[in-house]
Structure 1
Amino acid sequence: MFLLAVLVTVVIVGAQEPHPCESPKQFEGRQATFDHQRKSQIFARFAYDDIEKRFREIEIEQFGKQHAFYDTLYLHNVGLEYKLDLRTRKCNVTAITSPFRPFAIPPDAKFKGAVVYGAAGIPNQHVNLNRFEGEMGELQFEMFHTSPNCIPVQVSFFKNSTRVVKHRQFYDVSVGISDPEAFIPPKDCIK
């Protein structure tokens, strides 16, 4: 009887562990990105489309006291990147060589814990986050998503578990894409 009670408890506790949830397929907002390879900090407005594998960011990049302003459109669905320097209006169109990395939690991700961000126990002053880890191709990832709505809050990619490749924090997120032209290349890039 004792063994049966232990097995039932283990099954109940195991069933309560959060599993990868499904994030919205399209959303927009703001992000702070820390690129350790380029030693830069980037603040941007963004639009994200998981369905067509598209991502656009209009960014201010800081290298110490210097600033750069870019409008970058990643069209993984056609394999092209458009990067417009908003100061010079010079546009570079290049082939995308890296795979599309979704901000959604992959189904094989491992749950690593839950945290409360903000003032726990005070209504409307906190958000519950679930932390997941795993591998996506040659990179490892760590993701924090809201619970229960599964909105990404932080996504980090690592190489060899030690070197951060990209670290993004999302805020002011809204589901859907408000600008129907969000994924049309800038006029300065079409010639």
Structure 2
Amino acid sequence: MTSSPQRLPDLRETAGPPGVPADTPEGLSRFNSASEAAARAALHEVCAAGAWSSAMLARRPYPTVGELLAAGEAATAALTADDLAEAMAGHPPIGRPRPGDPASAREQRGMAGASDTLKAELLELNLAYQKKFGQVFLICATGRTGEQLRDAAQDRLGNTPEREREIVRTELAGINRIRLTRLIRPEPEA
């Protein structure tokens, strides 16, 4: 199943609820007061696992950003193997961000200036990883160079499937945390 580009739904038009604490960011207020459909769509762009979105929706409203992020980590920790597979299906391979997807391009920025040789190496590693583990190589690529991504793929090829599943869960939690933060604290438009 393919999904549309990872563009987080715009929750700016939703008014915040009355009585929101002064230290609550405006984006969190918008998220808390968004319709269930709008919030679910936004959460799906953070993590493609339906169980994750449902767990996050069930705990709304979130009084603080910290509680939102903690709930995201708890929801990620509770994902089953099938849920993890569903979440991973929402991520493009490293080195091949989805065309027209600014989130994917931003997260994989470290590959932007990579040489053709490094890109070819990473493609081969992605294929070897997918053959061994039956899934895309998932890593929180934000802030990592192409060389660091390549080295991580090489290292992780030596893991057992059980060990790799737990690493994937940790990487997914990091990605979800970054995306949740962007959802409630959008970057200014250029």
Normalising by structure 1, we get a TM-score of 0.20
Bigger strand share: 1
Which of 1 and 2 has greater Rg?
1
Bigger helix share: 2
